[in-house]
Structure 1
Amino acid sequence: MFFRSYFDEKLAQYSYMVACQKTGEAIVIDPARDITPYVETAQKEGFRLTAATETHIHADFVSGARQLAHDHGVTLYLSDEGDENWKYQYLDNLSAQLVKDGDVFMVGNVEFKVMHTPGHTPESISFVLTDRGGGSTEPMGIFTGDFVFVGDVGRPDLLEKAAGVKGTAASGAAQMYDSLQKFRQLPDYLVVWPGHGAGSACGKSLGAVPLSTVGYEKANNWALQEMDKEQFEKELLKDQPEPPKYFAVMKKVNKAGPAVLTNETIPYVETYKELEPYISREDTIIVDTRNGNEFAQGHIEGTINLPYTKIFTNWAGWILDYEKQLVLIAEEQQTVHIQHSLESIGLDRIAAFASPNVVSEAPELEKYANINVDELKAQYEKEDVYVVDIRQQGEWEAGHIPTAHHHMLGYLEEEADQLPKDKKLIIHCQSGARSAIGASLLQAKGFKNIENLASGFAGWKNENGPVK
């Protein structure tokens, strides 16, 4: 048997390939939308991509299952659990097999047994793997998707918080408790291959270790310690982070079927004159992917700063409008990676990329100041200053700058009308990365008197400033 894992650090998402070395057949579990890594592995190892499967209808990224079926004719093994609201809608004319609890399917001589594990979502399933081709009659491991992570379990509140489906958080928590009782019955030696690692919003305390065992999780995972159902449900729902707004979009996309990607070339604009037609269009967002310091020193009015770093994909999903086309200012060598990052969460409407040189050619540039803690202290209590803390709710509750006002970055644009236009706005997050994004959003909304606390709340605490 052949095994390979893949990790998208921007989404903290794991996918896997398993192949039967005797027959050359390979399956991809929870494929990302960019299927290139799986194709390259198969070609390198001499395998045929014959199957793909998902543990559930994903909310945090666009699945590559449909792309694999379109490009390589793979058979899709997808959940038939849950009610009519949890059924795949794009399977006509594709080779697909719907599976339920207890079903078994083979990829060559490798066996996959389906285990219904609702809680994160009603249709969630896990796959217990047994290497029959290697002569084993005992299972090796389990692909748990968003059911059991290293140190945590999948959150059940996404449907209610992100999609507005009332009552699903409580019912999901109850289902998760029951599913974990099934998990407890598995052999301790079973390897656990989760769908996400640290950094994912699909749980609140995911570990950074890429795999675990059933026995280790029973001993160390908070959710598998002894507690009654009521206590478990209360603990599971407590302190879950805000789910990104784009999660609701992803659920619909993966249920209805993602668009099949083509290899169309996206134009790369080299001059401001070529960029200019896009700037005044109401259906277009100009995104500047340079780092926050460069952006602060000069940028085209109305552009949004989303530096191409580890947090790019998540915040693109939070703040970009899926109904508008995008033009991205970026170095040419980054464009393919940026495109894949955006497409991974369904932001497919990329009209063009533009060279950073277009900024220096612009007739007029906007700026904002990056300030330090001493500069903030000198003015934060003044009546004409409004301090905006854009961190998440849990960060705010753990401590914040006196007189600050909380407007979480993901909701900043829609809460902008609550901010005073006659005062200076000083924006901050924990370290300065998110506040650079926030400063650009507010400037684009017409707030021109803005400063950014470059060292963030961490810098404030280090200077022994008072914390509430």
Structure 2
Amino acid sequence: MFFQHIYDKSLAQASYLIGCQAKGEAIVIDAKRDIDTYLQIAQENNLTITHITETHIHADFLSGSRELAEVTGAKMYLSDEGGEDWQYQFPHISLKNGDTIKVGNLTLKVIHTPGHTPESISFLLTDHPATDEPVMIFTGDFVFVGDIGRPDLLEKAAGIAGTQEKGAKEMFHSVNDFSKLPEFIQVWPGHGAGSACGKALGAVPSSTVGYEKIRNWAFQHKEDEDGFIEYLLEGQPEPPKYFAMMKKLNKMERPLLTEVPKHEKLSKDEFLKAYNSGVKVIDTRNKADFAEGFLPKSINIQGNNSFSTWMGWLVSYSEPFILVAQEEQMEDLTRKLMRIGMDQMMGYIDNVKNLGLDLQTVDVVDIEEFKTYLNREDVQILDVRNKTEYETAHIGNSENVFVGTLEDNFDKISRDKQIVIHCQGGDRAAIAYSLLKKKGFENVKNFAGGMKEWLENNNPVNP
């Protein structure tokens, strides 16, 4: 058996290519959209991708299953569980609980595991030349290392009322069924630490059924359904706005993008024409470089592993945008945007200093100056971390407006007071600063050290 774990750090998302080397056939589970990765792996290992499948209709990334099927001619095997509202709306081979996918000498048995979503399925893999016992289970967003999938996304992200309680109840029964599997089976989940699909995902890529029964909180509530549901639903992070679009695009017919596109570097005149017409500019530079000089109304979303998530929070799929980035960054950034279906980039520029525009600078304050603004009537301290972080510990007299929802909450921010913003380590505050300046707030300062520096210096916090 051939096995390859493919991991996208930007979305903490795992996919898998599994092959029967004797027959030269392979299956891909939960493919990302930049499919050249799978084509190269298959070619290098003398495999042909003949089967493609998914664990569920994804909310956090745009699946590449259809792109992969278009290029390879492989068949798509997708869940038909969950009822009519949870069906894929394009041709595929349907899967139900107990069905089997045969890939050469390998079989993948379908197990319906509702909870995260109604149609969620897992795959129990058996390598028949070696044994007739299953050896791996691919759980998607059902069981993670140390956590389980959240059942509230359909309600919070997609706006489908009444689904989180039902999903939590289904998850309770799915977890109890999972615990009956042999303890030696390897668990390969769809996400790792950093994903918004759970609240406490582990950093190691895989586990076993037995290990999860010992350390995963969900398996300590097998006799307490109410306690399980309460703990599962509390403290879940805010789902990014783009999740609703992913649910829609992963379910319906859509345009395919089978290659990583190459975007053009814009000339000064091309950029200024677009900029002056109001096209959104996303500056991907490091926050320190951005602070030293940035284009008015540009938004600082650094080109790191969180780039695609914040793009999904802050950029509408209906609006074009231009990046400030270096040429050598563009393939990586384009792949990250592809993976959430954000295809409306107009191009990029690599220098903000040669455009003939007056640049702005970020008003950064250190911890000692920050302390002088505390407990003042003429100052608003703004904590832009998420709600759970804020409720765990925050600086006294600070107010919480999560950066992902800042544009919907400008009315909560004073235009008369001095605004001082902070987050945990500075990245989210950099985004928030640029958003406030874009909206026309003049009196804004950034305590870039944030809670990290505040706590390192043993300063007091409120629980």
Q: TM-score, normalised by structure 2?
A: 0.97
Which of 264, 269, 273 aligns to 1:267? It is 264
Q: 2:67, 2:258 within 8 Å by CA — same for their partners in 1? A: no
Counterpart amino acid of residue 52 in structure 2: A
Q: Which residue of the partner structure matches residue 406 of structure 1?
A: 400
SS of the residue aligned with 2:333?
Answer: helix
Which of 312, 318, 323 aligns to 1:317? It is 312
Q: Which residue of the partner structure matches residue 146 of structure 1?
A: 141
Aligned alpha-carbon RMSD (Å)? 1.3
Shift of 1:361: 3.2
Counterpart amino acid of residue 368 in structure 1: V
Q: 2:294, 2:352 within 8 Å by CA — same for their partners in 1? A: no
Structure 1: how far apart are the matches of 2:262 and 2:307?
A: 22
Structure 2: how far apart are the matches of 1:177 and 1:363?
A: 58
**1:291 is aligned to 2:286:** yes
Which of 111, 114, 122 aligns to 1:115? It is 111
Q: Structure 1: give runs of 5+ residues left out of the alignment.
A: none
Structure 2: how far apart are the matches of 1:379 and 1:184?
A: 53
Q: Which residue of the partner structure matches residue 32 of structure 1?
A: 32
Structure 2: how far apart are the matches of 1:43 and 1:165?
A: 42
Structure 1: how far apart are the matches of 2:303 and 2:8?
A: 14
- Alignment of structure 1 residues 6-45 onto 2, 5 Å: 6-45=6-45
Once the two structures are superposed, residues 278-299 of structure 1 have per-residue CA deviations (whole angstroms, 9 ceiling, x without a partner) of 11224x2110000111111111
Structure 1: how far apart are the matches of 2:265 and 2:15?
A: 31
Decide whether aligned partners of structure 1 residues 399 and 265 sit closer, same or farther in structure 2, where only a CA change above 3 A counts. closer
SS of the residue aligned with 1:58?
Answer: coil
Structure 2: how far apart are the matches of 1:258 and 1:63?
A: 11
Once the two structures are superposed, residues 305-339 of structure 1 have per-residue CA deviations (whole angstroms, 9 ceiling, x without a partner) of 00111211111111111110111010001111101
SS of the residue aligned with 2:331?
Answer: helix
Counterpart amino acid of residue 278 in structure 1: A
Structure 1: how far apart are the matches of 2:80 and 2:42?
A: 28
Q: Which residue of the partner structure matches residue 439 of structure 1?
A: 433
Structure 2: how far apart are the matches of 1:68 and 1:174?
A: 35
Structure 2: how far apart are the matches of 1:378 and 1:321?
A: 38
SS of the residue aligned with 1:51?
Answer: strand
Q: 2:51, 2:77 within 8 Å by CA — same for their partners in 1? A: yes
Q: Which residue of the partner structure matches residue 370 of structure 2?
A: 376
Shift of 1:403: 1.9
Q: Which residue of the partner structure matches residue 452 of structure 1?
A: 446
Counterpart amino acid of residue 83 in structure 1: G
Q: 2:35, 2:258 within 8 Å by CA — same for their partners in 1? A: no
Shift of 1:360: 4.2
Structure 2: how far apart are the matches of 1:232 and 1:8?
A: 30
Counterpart amino acid of residue 130 in structure 1: T
Structure 1: how far apart are the matches of 2:90 and 2:403?
A: 34
Shift of 1:257: 3.6
**1:300 is aligned to 2:295:** yes
Counterpart amino acid of residue 267 in structure 1: E
Structure 2: how far apart are the matches of 1:233 and 1:250?
A: 26
Counterpart amino acid of residue 263 in structure 2: I
Q: 1:62, 1:258 within 8 Å by CA — same for their partners in 2? A: no
Q: 1:150, 1:212 within 8 Å by CA — same for their partners in 2? A: yes
SS of the residue aligned with 1:374?
Answer: helix
Structure 1: how far apart are the matches of 2:277 and 2:68?
A: 36
Q: 1:272, 1:362 within 8 Å by CA — same for their partners in 2? A: no
Q: TM-score, normalised by structure 1?
A: 0.96
**1:124 is aligned to 2:120:** yes
- Alignment of structure 1 residues 115-194 onto 2, 5 Å: 115-132=111-128, 134-194=129-189
SS of the residue aligned with 1:113?
Answer: strand
Shift of 1:166: 1.3
Counterpart amino acid of residue 399 in structure 1: A
Shift of 1:108: 1.2
Q: Which residue of the partner structure matches residue 229 of structure 2?
A: 233
Counterpart amino acid of residue 339 in structure 1: T
Counterpart amino acid of residue 403 in structure 1: N
Shift of 1:83: 1.4
Structure 1: how far apart are the matches of 2:356 and 2:459?
A: 40
| Identity value in percent | 48
Shift of 1:50: 1.0
- Alignment of structure 1 residues 306-385 onto 2, 5 Å: 306-355=301-350, 357-385=351-379
Shift of 1:49: 1.2
Structure 2: how far apart are the matches of 1:279 and 1:417?
A: 26
Q: Which residue of the partner structure matches residue 62 of structure 1?
A: 62
Once the two structures are superposed, residues 160-193 of structure 1 have per-residue CA deviations (whole angstroms, 9 ceiling, x without a partner) of 1111211111000100011112111111111101
Structure 1: how far apart are the matches of 2:194 and 2:247?
A: 19
Q: Which residue of the partner structure matches residue 74 of structure 1?
A: 74
Shift of 1:417: 2.4
Structure 1: how far apart are the matches of 2:315 and 2:421?
A: 20
SS of the residue aligned with 2:157?
Answer: helix
Decide whether aligned partners of structure 1 residues 344 and 21 sit closer, same or farther in structure 2, where only a CA change above 3 A counts. same
Q: Which residue of the partner structure matches residue 255 of structure 1?
A: 251
**1:386 is aligned to 2:374:** no
Q: Structure 2: give runs of 5+ residues left out of the alignment.
A: none
Structure 1: how far apart are the matches of 2:354 and 2:249?
A: 39
Structure 2: how far apart are the matches of 1:18 and 1:55?
A: 15
